[in-house]
Amino acid sequence: MFKKRKTNPVAVAVALGATLMTGCTSATTSVVKSESSSAHMMVASMESGTLVAASRVSGGQGVNNPPLAALGPVPIPPDNPNTPAKVELGKMLFFEPAVGGDTSTPCSACHEPDQGWAWAEDISRGYPGTVHWRNSQTTVNSAYYPRLFWAGSVPSLEAQAKSAAGGAVAGNAEFDIVEARLALMPEYRKRFNEVFGDEFPLYRNAFRAIAAFERADLVQRDAPIDNYFNGDKDALSEEQKRGMALFNGKANCIECHNGAMATDFDYYNIGVPTLPRWDEDGLAQITYRYEMYAKGSNEEMYKNYKEDPGFYFRDKNVWNKGKFRVPSLRYTMYTAPYMHNGTLMTLEDVVDFYNQGGGNNVFSANKSDLIKPLGLSDEEKEDLVAFLEAFSGDEIEIERPKMPGYAPLFTKAELMMEKK
């Protein structure tokens, strides 16, 4: 029999505040290994002739999982160090309409600071004329994830920003046009030159600056749970402390939501139900079909599915259908609705969902056997919800940067000089 993998190197590194990303590439490799663990385990156990249930077997209530912990310093890749000037530039670019296709979709359009740096609808707004197909995640603390997006499809914030800005139903930007626009804004020419030495702003550096901003300003390390683990035992109320005991014990959340980020960064199907909106909203349905097609599904799936196969699109293994990355519980007080398709409206709904043993969807064959009815009383449910709130500190508010304007590339006098 195989044992559930107990040490999650990423979660431990984050808990210890270690500088995890010793380079984009090494971070990627270590993570890929950990992620495909369930697939590896399955193969391993098949070889030894004792095929146990496809993914995880519970090692018992919360035993050997990395404990919840205070969040350490943000990991910074050595090939994109943070500097104040870069962070400031990244902040401007996060709000900069010129970084999207028709200049209506800056990052902040779907990661609205007043909506938890996310978008408060089930599925996100999309590029004009489209609706997105997944819930918009918060960008708060995303710097700690080894892989980004609900299905973990990209390995770094730099790559993520590029994929968001260029994605057809998100930013839909043409990067040569973005560069042309930035070149016509003297303020950006100056700043890209100072920060990156660019003669004219390069879009790849725009994404490096945005990533630096996220690592500097969109981080929260002083939530009540941090203060508690940093020694302030009064940071949690009695109710929250009871909730924590449930989290680690009877409710068994710790099996997947563990370590300082309250996630093991792995992928599970917990039976999140179908999004009714895909039946009712034509535009949303079109995006769903488009994504199914673009990500490579067979005809049978394309014609008949009404569900997001999630992690399956990463490796096309049937046992990964309907699995999603365990999201952090941090900052979730501000990021309703919940789950990859936003079908659960409140943290109370989430707790009810787990208490009844999760849900069902067409991929239920892959549902994790860690998800089962919990038998929590009303009071216990309240305690657990109260504890979930301890993962969020104050709302992160920043002063929105002033957007620079366009100006001709050369003044008439400069052109005259060139002619001479």
Residues of this chain that interact with ligand HEC (CB under 6 A) are 99, 105, 107, 109-111, 124-127, 132, 134, 136-137, 139, 142, 145, 148-150, 157, 160-161, 164-165, 170-171, 210, 251-253, 255-257, 268, 270, 272, 324, 326-327, 329, 332, 335, 338-340, 347, 350-351, 354, 368, 370-371, 384, 388
Indicate the residue among 150 and 228 with the shorter CB distance to ligand HEC: 150
Fill in the amino acid letter for 64: N
Least CB distance to ligand HEC at residue 296 (A): 15
Least CB distance to ligand HEC at residue 417 (A): 37
Signed CA dihedral, 166, 172, 178, 179: sign only? positive
Least CB distance to ligand HEC at residue 215 (A): 11
Indicate the residue among 6 and 411 with the shorter CB distance to ligand HEC: 6
Q: How far is CA 221 from CA 74, 187, 224, 385, in A?
A: 9, 32, 9, 20
Indicate the residue among 157 and 185 with the shorter CB distance to ligand HEC: 157
Indicate the residue among 335 and 415 with the shorter CB distance to ligand HEC: 335
Least CB distance to ligand HEC at residue 405 (A): 21
DSSP class of residue 268?
Answer: E
Distance CA 327, CA 275 (A): 19
Least CB distance to ligand HEC at residue 49 (A): 26
Indicate the residue among 134 and 189 with the shorter CB distance to ligand HEC: 134
Query: From the DSSP assignment, how many helices (H) and strands (E) are in the chain?
Result: 18, 2
Least CB distance to ligand HEC at residue 68 (A): 12
Least CB distance to ligand HEC at residue 109 (A): 5
Q: Which among 27, 42, 10 is positioned nearest to 266, based on CA atoms?
A: 10
Looking at the DSSP assignment, which residues form a beta bridge with residue 112? 118
Alpha helical stretches, state H, 60-202 = 84-94, 107-110, 157-166, 175-183, 186-196
Dig out the tokens for 313 from the structure. 């699109």
3-state secondary structure of 21: coil
Indicate the residue among 171 and 309 with the shorter CB distance to ligand HEC: 171
Q: How far is CA 328 from CA 57, 141, 365, 371, in A?
A: 22, 9, 25, 17
CB neighbour list of residue 241: distance below 8 Å, 6 or more residues apart: 387
Indicate the residue among 191 and 340 with the shorter CB distance to ligand HEC: 340
Distance CA 14, CA 260 (A): 6
